[in-house]
Structure 1
């Protein structure tokens, strides 16, 4: 499991990333906003970014924070 810090405009959040190679998926969790998701290997970057942005819109007041965090998560998940 990797723990990353995402520096956003409003706050810094800890992001927990666990790769499950056997099931070909990655678990991502952000406890401070009570959010988690499972990302299958086959999900493409465009649809993943869009999905994450939609999910973060309700958690953050700033759409910029939602976009920025979505892009960071996609980058971190794909480099594992």
Structure 2
């Protein structure tokens, strides 16, 4: 499991990233906003992550930034 910090507009969010290489999926969680998502390697995840973050009350700019960071972090793993 990887733990990353996302700081946007002075808001410090802890992002937990779990990768299951055997079954080829990621689980991402941000406890501060009571949010989590699971997606496989094949899925288009960036738009889905952004939409679900926006549904949790984040504004569009912050949800886009966090979705891009999560995409970058998961591709680095």
Distance 1:33 1:74 in 2: 19
CA distance in 1, matches of 2:53, 2:32: 13
Once the two structures are superposed, residues 2-54 of structure 1 have per-residue CA deviations (whole angstroms, 9 ceiling, x without a partner) of: 1000011151100001110111001111111111111201113xxx1111111
Runs of 4+ residues deviating >2 angstroms = 58-62
| TM-score normalised per structure 2 | 0.90
Q: Structure 1: which 5+ runs fail to align?
A: none
* TM-score in terms of structure 1 length: 0.87
1:50 maps onto 2:47 in alignment = yes
Distance across 2 between alignment mates of 1:17 and 1:32: 14
Gaps of 5+ in 2: none
| CA RMSD of superposed structures (Å) | 1.3
